[in-house]
Structure 1
C-alpha cells in the first residue's frame, strides 16, 4: 500500500500525456474524400465528418463561399488543408477541434539580389523588370544586369518574376524572411512565325504631352516589360509618378480609389481619382476623375471627368467632360462636353458640346452644339447648333443651325439662319442675306412699282423659300426723291417649263430726308413669271402695300410715298393696292 501514491501519480501523468497525444492525432488522421465544384465551407464540413472532429474558424478571414474541390485518397487531414488553403493559414488542435487561422508573419524587411542573365549566351541583361506581384515591389536591373529587391516578410514564400521584352517571363518561388542571393537566367523568345500585333491606345500613353513630360525612362521601360501584367487594388496614393504606395508598379495596378498629391500614373481607375495637378492612367477610367490641371487617359472614360485645364482621352468617352481649356478625345463621345476654349473629337459626337471658341468633330454629330466662334463637323450633323461666326459641315446638315456670319454644308435639309448660307445642294429652309447652292434659286431682278421707280433685288435660296435683298429709288431727284433698302422672302411654284407663279413678302426702310425713325414699307406681291430664255425672265403682278409713316414730315424735295388712293388701316398705318413689273437675270 505504500506504493499506491506513486501509482496514482504515474497514472495521472499518463492521462495528461495521452490527452494532447490524442489531440495531436487529429491533423494526422487519414481520410478519403473526393468533391468538386463545392463551396469551401461545405468541403471542410465533409472533412470534419470523415475525420470525426470539428473545424473552428473566423468566417471573415476564410473565403467559405469560394468554390473549389478536393481529391484525397487515404491522406492526412493536414495534407488536405494544405491543398485547399495553401501556406497562408496555420492550424491548432484543442480537444476535438482543429482551429484554422491566418498565418502571422513578422513583417521584417529582407532583400533578394543577384544578376539576370541570358540563359543561352550567359550575358548580363540590363533593363529587365524583377518584381513580386503580391507586394507590388519592382526594380529594373542596371547596366550590369544586377538587381536588389527589398521585401517584407508577409508570406512563407516569395514569388519572384522576371520580365524583359524579347524574353520569356520567368517565375521563381523562394523562401521568405531572410536575405538571399539569387541569380536568374531567362530564356530568349524564339519566333517561329510572326504574330499579329494590335496597337491599342494603352501603348500610346507615353507619347502624350503629359507622358513625355512626367514619366521617366524607367517607368516607360517597366511599361514595356510588364505589358501583360495588371492587378486590382482597393486604393493607392502617391506624391508623383513612381513615388507612392505601389512604387514602380503603379502603372500596372487598377485602383478603386486613387489619390495623387501632385500627380500619379496608374493602370486605371474603377471608382474615384483625385489629382492635385494631374492624373495619368494607362487604361480605362470609370465613374469620377478630378485633376487640378490635366487628366490623360490611355483607354476610355465612363462617368465624370473634370480637368482644370485639359482632359485628354485616347479612346471613347461616355458621360460628362469639363475642362478649363480643352477636351480632346480620340474616339467617339456619348455625353456632354464643356470646354473653356476647345472641344476636339476625332470621331462621332452624341448629345451635347459647348466651347468658348471651337468645337471640332472628326465624324458625325447628333444633338446640341454651341461654339463661341466655330463648329466643325466632318460627317453629318443632326440637331441644334449655334456659332458666333460659322458652322461648317462636310456632310449633310439636318435640324436647326444658326451662325453670326455663315453656315456651310455639303447638303442642307433642315433650317439654317445666317447672313450667308452655302451648300452644294439644299432642300431645306435658309434665312439670311445670301443663300448659295449649286441646284438653288438665284435671280437678279430690276423692277418698277407704283411707289418707287427703280428696284434692284438679289434673290437666292431654293424654290421652296428664297431670300431677297433689295434696294430702291425714285428717278425724280428734284421733287420726288426717295430711297429704300430691305429684306424679304419668296416662293416660286412652277406652272410649266416657262411659266411660274411667285409670291414675295418684303419689308424695307424708306429714307425721306432723315435717318431718324425712318418710315417702313411692307409689300405682298404675287406675280407671274415668264422665262424668255435660260437666263432671262419677265414678271408682273399686283401688290398690296402697308406703310408706317414717321411723324416727321418728309424733307424738301422728298416723296410722301403715300398715294392719293390709299386706305385708312390704323392711325399709324396706311394701305393701298398697286402693281409691279420687271425683268430677272440668271
Structure 2
C-alpha cells in the first residue's frame, strides 16, 4: 500500500511541475497549428482534464504523443499517437491515431484513425478511419471508413465506406459503400452501393447498386440496379434493373422490372410479374395481368388489357369437334386469348380451357393470324393427370365490317396424355408415339371461326 501511495504522489508531483519543465522542450511551431496559436510539445501525459504536463492551459498546446490515464482535453494532436483509457479530446484537430476506451473527440478536422469503445466525433471533415462500438459522427465530409456497432453519421459528403449494425446517415452525397443492419440514408445523391437489412433511402439521384431486405426509395433519378425483399420506389427516372418480392414503382422506367407488381407511368423495356401496370409503355409485359392506357409491344399474360388495344370475342370450331368461345385481348398486333370449349360429338362430358398468344398481320385484302395455343382437356370434372393439346394455327381472316370478321385456316396439333381413352380426341394420326407412360399424337387439322367487335 505504501508503494502505491508513493507512486501516486510521484505522478501527482510530476503533473504539477511538468508545465514549468516543458518550457525547455521543443517549442517549434508548424503551419498546421499556427492558425490556432498553439505551442508544440513532443509528449504530454494527462490524468484528467486540467491535470496534465501542460497544466490547466492544455488547450493551448499541440503534441505528437499523448497519454491520457483517465481523460484528456488538449489543443490538438499532430501526426502522432494518442491513447486514453476513457476519453481523448482535442479542441481543434486530431492528426494521427486516437485510441480510447470510451470516446475520441476532435473539435475540427480529423486526419487518421479513431478507435473507441463507444463513440468517435469529428467536428468538421474526417479523413481516415473511425471505428467504435456504438457510433461515429463527422459533422462534415468523410473520406475514408466509418465502422460503427450501431450507427454512423456524416454531416456532409462521403467518399469511402460506412458500415453499421443499425443505420448509416449521410447528409449529402455518397461515393462509395454503405452497409447497415437496418437503414441507410442519403440526403443527396449516391454513386456506389448501399446494402441494408431493411431500407435504403436516397433523397436524390442514384448511380450504382442498392440491396435491401425491405425497400429501396429514391427521390431522384436512378441508373443501376435495385434489389429488395418487398418494394423499390423511384419517384423520378429509372434506367437499369429493378427487382423485388412485392412491388416496383418508377415514374419513368427504361430497363427490366421484376416483381409481383410492376408499376410505371412511362415504360420502355421488360416487365415480369404477377401484375404489370403502365400508363404508356413500349416493350414486353409478361404476367398474369397486364394493363396499360397505351402500350406497344408484346404482351404475355392471362389478361392483357390496353385501352388503345383490342377487345374481341371469338367463336370457333375445329376438326376435333370442340366448339370454343374466347376473349381476345392485347395490342392490335399481338394478342392473348383465354378460352373454354366443349365437345358435343363425344358420348361423354369432355371440355377444355385454353390460352393462346398470337400475332396479326394486316394486308390490303385480308388478315393473317398466327398463334400458339395450349388446351387442358378435362374428362367430367377437372382432370389432374396430364391431358393436353398443343396447337399452332395459321388463319386467314376477312373483315366484313368493323364489328365482324371471319377466319379459317390449317392447324398443326400435338396431343400429350397419360389418360387411357384419349385416343378419340384426334380424328386421325400422322404419328402416334408412346413413351414413359405418355402418348404423343400428331395430326393436321383446321379451324373455322368468327371475331366480333
Q: TM-score range by the shorter chain?
A: 0.7 to 0.9
Q: What SS does the aligned partner of 1:110 have? A: helix
Where do residues 163-562 of structure 1 align in structure 2 (5 Å cutoff)? 231-236=109-114, 250-267=122-139, 268-382=141-255, 384-387=256-259, 389-398=260-269, 400-403=270-273, 405-476=274-345, 479-496=347-364, 499-513=366-380, 515-553=383-421, 560-562=424-426
Gaps of 5+ in 2: 1-25, 45-51, 64-71, 78-106
Tell me how far apart the structure 2 counterparts of residues 459 and 316 of structure 1 sit (CA, whole Å): 46
Write the distance in 2 (CA, Å) between the matches of 1:304 and 1:277: 17
After superposition, the C-alpha distances for 1:18-53 in whole angstroms (9 at most, x for unaligned) are xxxxxxxxxxxxxxxxxxxxxxxxxxxxxxxxxxxx
- Does the aligned pair in 2 maintain the 1:540–1:581 contact within 8 Å? yes
Distance, in Å, in 1 between the alignment partners of 2:443 and 2:340 is: 20
Give me the whole-angstrom Cα distance separating, in 2, the residues matched to 1:318 and 1:133. Answer: 40
Instruction: State whether residues 502 and 529 of structure 1, in contact with CA within 8 Å, keep that contact through their aligned partners in structure 2.
Output: yes
Indicate how the Cα distance of structure 1 residues 87 and 537 shifts in structure 2: closer, same or farther if over 3 A, else same.
closer
- Measured against aligned partners, the alpha-carbon deviations of 1:221-249 in whole angstroms (never above 9, x if no partner) come to xxxxxxxx9634334456667xx5x6xxx
How far apart are the structure 1 equivalents of 2:361 and 2:379?
36
C-alpha contact 2:310 2:331 (8 A) present in aligned 1 = yes
Aligned pairs for 1:90-129 (under 5 A) are 107-110=54-57
Structure 2 CA distance for partners of 1:482 and 1:152, relative to 1, 3 Å: closer
Which residue does the alignment assign to 1:567?
430
Preserved contact between residue 330 and residue 347 of structure 1 (Cα < 8 Å) = yes
**Normalized per residue, which structure has more strand?**
2
Higher share of residues assigned helix: 1
Separation of aligned partners in 2, 1:394 and 1:545: 41
User: What is the aligned-residue RMSD (CA, Å)?
Assistant: 3.5
Shift of 1:271: 0.8
1:368 is displaced (CA, Å) by 2.0
- TM-score normalised by the chain length of structure 2: 0.73
Name structure 1 gaps, 5 residues minimum.
1-57, 67-82, 90-100, 113-131, 136-149, 156-228
Query: 1:463, 1:493 within 8 Å by CA — same for their partners in 2?
Result: no
Q: How many aligned positions are there?
A: 375
CA distance in 1, matches of 2:251, 2:341: 42
Shift of 1:483: 0.5
Alignment partners' CA distance in 2, 1:361 and 1:504: 37
1:87 and 1:506, CA in 2 relative to 1: closer, same or farther beyond 3 A?
A: closer
- Structure 2 residue aligned with 1:578, among 425, 445, 449? 445
Offset, 1:518: 4.0
